[in-house]
Amino acid sequence: MTRGISRRAFLEGMSLGGLSSLAAARAFAGAPLTSPRPVPRAPGIAGAGLAAGPPASLPADLIAEAQLGGKVAYVVADGRTGEVLESLNPLLPMPPASVAKVATATYALETLGAEFRFATRLIATGPLEGGRLRGDLVLAGGGDPMLDTDALADMARALKATGLREITGRFLVWAGSLPYQKSIDPAQPDQVGYNPAVSGLNLNFNRVYFEWKRNSGGYAVSMDARSEKYRPEVTIARIRVVERTSPVYTYRQDGTIDRWTVARAALGEGGGRWLPVRRPDLYAGEVFQWLARAHGIALPKPQETDQPPQGAVLAEHQSPALSTILRLMLKYSTNLTAETIGLTATRARGHSPATLKQSAAAMNDWLKGNLAMRHAKMTDHSGLSDRSRLSASDMVKALLRADSRLHPLLKEVVPLDGEGRKAPQAPYRIHAKTGSLNFVSSLAGYVEGADGRPLTFAIFTGDLKRRAAIPRAQRERPQGARGWARRARWLQHRLIARWTQRFAA
């Protein structure tokens, strides 16, 4: 039972490791992951009792000022020589949150290569004669994490160009290129969009768009697989508005159908958000059936198959190159991308993982042997699970060894001043990966001054006792987490400012 309904929390479909705006989502893959809404300006750190002046002379002073509780660990090293310049709890195992994606990106890049591309295919199991396929048509997934509705539309258009109009057999979907996972982290609330299923056939980051509008009879609701050009409604995910105040959502899986209810009191006049999909293979099949129909191709209802398809390829969609996918993943921190590329890399190394944990164990072995991350204990590839552990020391070792490969992929992080406001005129630049879970915050990457020596750093903070006390129903937006995260970011940027003054001047 929640303590009450927050409309703002209800609208926020992506808070951990996901995209932050409609525009950002469109830049990534054409499928927005959260509703467009005004983003309020965060209150100044100084207003939260934190000083706005120059960095304190001692890290202990900064840590005390941040008032985080829990543990803080960091390492900063000379980017050229690897000499450790300052550290605190360097070997302490901490949840890395989305900083884990840095390790996953390196693992995938070294295993698969920068030009690797995922392929999604339409395969005919029989001959095509006079517009009729005498056999089955199979939509075969290759694990592509960026496949969206527009890409499926292109495949439907290519299928039409072959002359096909109908099939005598079945319309099948195959997702066996990767092991199916119902969710990335079962400990997360059902409705959070950053925790979808993982499959060899994925669509729109395995999310469906729920939209509602008030009308004279209550609310008109829809569930669709929208993109820039299309809005195909789906039946594999369904939702009802019910009279209650809490919980905001309930979920149950009814065979292959995702059945949701939503509290009427939370809806307001109208809006929308992305909800996770638990059967992405059938979701993609239903959307493709709709798109094929628009091109005059009659397909039966999709059915799953566990048999790798054999036959002629009628159409194929290839993803962008892996280097592009990794850059976007590190910028927008999409969890599905991290899990699919991690699983794909593990399989490419000859393993057959059945779970994310098994795949992460294979990655841990590689990290230890190739990046000197001796204590890596990841349980997934995205960092969404709070059971994963890395140390600041190991993270810095990995960053130093992979500098030339990672640095170009990391986004530039705008420095913050002593009040927590953006300070783009700061005399240094940060290229790093952020990570956040409730009461866990991390930042790791590189700092370059105008003329000083480059620095490589990792900062892990976490109050794990406070995190463990959050009931599952409140984990989307628990009380106090927003302020804690703001103070953690303040501490991270004050430490960086200190290091640039002391070591990189």
Q: What is the DSSP string of 143-191?
A: --TT--HHHHHHHHHHHHHTT--EESS-EEEE-TTS--BS-S-TTS-TT
Band (pLDDT 50/70/90 cuts) for residue 55 is: low
Peptide bond just before 471 cis, omega within 30 deg: no
Q: Is 277 exposed, middle or buried (0-12, 13-18, 19+ CB in 10 A)?
A: buried
pLDDT of residue 504: 81
Region 15-28: mean pLDDT is: 36
Is the Cβ–Cβ distance between 127 and 260 less than 8 Å?
no
Q: How far is CA 236 from CA 217, 345, 381, in A?
A: 25, 30, 28
Is the Cβ–Cβ distance between 427 and 449 less than 8 Å?
yes
Q: Distance between terminal CA atoms of the chain?
A: 53
The length of the chain is 505
Least confident span in 60-74, 106-120, 324-338, 446-460: 446-460
pLDDT of residue 50: 52
Region 98-117: mean pLDDT is: 98
Per DSSP, the three-state class of 55 is coil
Residue with tokens 């056999």: 135
Q: Is the pLDDT of residue 45 over 60?
A: no
pLDDT of residue 219: 95
421-447 core/surface letters (b: 16 or more CB in 10 A; e: else): eeeeebebbbbbbbbbbbbbbbbbbbb
The residue among 9 and 446 whose pLDDT is bigger is 446
pLDDT of residue 403: 87
Whether the CA torsion 258, 263, 266, 270 is positive or negative: it is positive
Strands (E), 225-324: 237-242, 249-254, 257-263, 270-276, 303-305, 312-318
Region 19-46: mean pLDDT is: 35
Q: Is the pLDDT of residue 316 over 50?
A: yes
Q: Is the pLDDT of residue 35 over 70?
A: no
Q: Are strands 270-276 and 207-215 parallel, antiparallel or unpaired?
A: antiparallel
Region 161-179: mean pLDDT is: 97
Nearest 10 degrees: CA dihedral of 328, 37, 187, 118?
A: -30
pLDDT of residue 224: 98
pLDDT of residue 449: 87
Judged by phi (left if over 0) then psi (alpha if -120 to 50, else beta), residue 350 lies in left
**What is the tally of helices (H) and strands (E) in the chain?**
13, 20
pLDDT of residue 450: 77
| Chain-centre distance for alpha carbon 192 | 11
Is the Cβ–Cβ distance between 279 and 256 less than 8 Å?
yes
The residue among 195 and 3 whose pLDDT is bigger is 195
Band (pLDDT 50/70/90 cuts) for residue 452 is: confident
Domains delineated in the chain: 1-40+118-319 (3.50.80.20), 45-94+391-505 (3.30.450), 97-116+321-388 (no CATH)
Q: pLDDT exceeding 90 applies to what percent of the chain?
A: 84
Region 451-455: mean pLDDT is: 86
Q: How far is CA 201 from CA 3, 124, 144, 237, 336, in A?
A: 38, 17, 7, 17, 12
Band (pLDDT 50/70/90 cuts) for residue 127 is: very high
Band (pLDDT 50/70/90 cuts) for residue 49 is: very low
What mean pLDDT, rounded, does the chain reach?
90
Band (pLDDT 50/70/90 cuts) for residue 57 is: low
Residues facing 305 on adjacent strands:
174
Cα 175 from Cα 374, distance rounded (Å):
34
Is the Cβ–Cβ distance between 192 and 16 less than 8 Å?
yes
Q: Is the pLDDT of residue 184 over 50?
A: yes
Letter for the amino acid at 198? V
Cα 73 from Cα 71, distance rounded (Å):
7
**pTM of whole model > 0.85?**
yes
Nearest of 324, 290, 337 to residue 139 by alpha carbon: 290
Region 374-379: mean pLDDT is: 96
106: tokens are: 């390196």
- Torsions phi, psi for 409 (to 5 deg): -90, -20
